[in-house]
Amino acid sequence: MTTGTQADLYSVMHDRKSVRVYDPAATISKEELSEMIKEATSAPSSSNLQPWRFLVIQDTAVKKELRAIANNQEQAETASAVIAVLGDIEMYKKVEQIYTQNVTEGHMPEASKEAMIASTNRVYPNVSDEVRKNIATFDAGLISMQIMLIAKEKGYDTVPMGGFDKEKFAERFELPSNVVPIVLIAVGKAAGPAYGSSRLPMNEILKFI
């Protein structure tokens, strides 16, 4: 059940299915894409460090290049846009900025800010790149889910693509060494039906203690 223009959570979750066939003539404005991503940033992240970065590719010629980098998956070229979700594995370097803003916006007292900065600077620089990459990857999953739900609510379809040449991507788009590509999300107007997919029975994935 929905009212006005907004759909309820469960309908959006149920209706969201991975779509691989898009109308190549459909476009989505930069403004709408920005708005979608901004909405999605309400997702939580480890110590609120927000390691997610986004490179949104709309240019036709660049999408063609991207298709070659993404195992020739058609949707990399035919979707209206591809949102490359990247992770900053030096996310802790923004801790002062983020917690200063938290105080300015009235979310926490100065003492909490200092404690959070101290604990972040004690932990994050001293774990391996791999651990920080895992943190960024998990947080990227959180925000990617919100992006796909928001896109669906707005009448678009999506598909997340993990299978692409991450080295070539980083090289082609000149990512700095602290930024790793995590997933590509194709977003556009579906040009064919969305297929369902099976789910494992609950007793194979869930236990209680």
Site for a copy of itself in 36-55 (CB under 8 A): 37-39, 41-44, 46, 48, 50, 52-55
What is the footprint of a copy of itself within residues 149-168 (CB under 8 A)? 149-150, 153, 159-160, 162-163
CB-based contact 53:84 (threshold 8 Å): no
Residue 120 touches a copy of itself, criterion: CB under 8 A: no
Q: With respect to a copy of itself, which residue has the nearer C-beta, 33 or 190?
A: 33
CA 155, chain centre distance (Å) = 18
* Closer CB to a copy of itself, 25 or 108, in the complex: 108
- CA 128/CA 5 separation, integer angstroms: 46
Size of the site for a copy of itself (CB under 8 A): 85
The SS3 of residue 160 is strand
The reply on whether position 13 binds a copy of itself by CB under 8 A is yes
| CA dist 114 → 92, 103, 202 (Å) | 14, 10, 43
Tell the smallest beta-carbon distance from residue 181 to a copy of itself (Å).
11
- For residues 119 and 94, give the distance between their C-alpha atoms in angstroms, rounded to a whole number: 14
